[in-house]
Amino acid sequence: MMNDGAGWGMTGSMWFFSILFWVLVVAGAVLIVKWVMERNKDELSSNESPLDILKKRYARGEVDRETFERMKKDIEGGNP
């Protein structure tokens, strides 16, 4: 009638691995959120002027020369 506690070993290890699994899931989620927040903070807190950003966009080929010159005049306050 007594099973000498043979059933407790399996149940105990299952609880341990279940808790370990959820701790790792939560820790992973926290690290991902932290990484995204740091990345966004760096992008938002940059001290680049609008002209610097425009120059980078031009260098990457996102805007052509005509658009670059027009936007540069707008930024510098020149009227066309």
- Return the sign of the alpha-carbon dihedral for residues 68, 72, 74, 75: positive
pLDDT for 47: 77
Q: How far apart are CA 28 and CA 4, in angstroms?
A: 39
What are the pLDDT digits (tens) for 3-34? 555 555 567 678 888 999 999 999 999 999 99
Return the CA Rg of the chain.
29
What are the pLDDT digits (tens) for 54-70? 999 999 999 999 999 99
Q: How far apart are CA 61 and CA 78, in angstroms?
A: 24
Q: Look-up: residue for tokens 């506690």? A: 5
Cβ within 8 Å of residue 71, ≥6 positions away: 54, 63
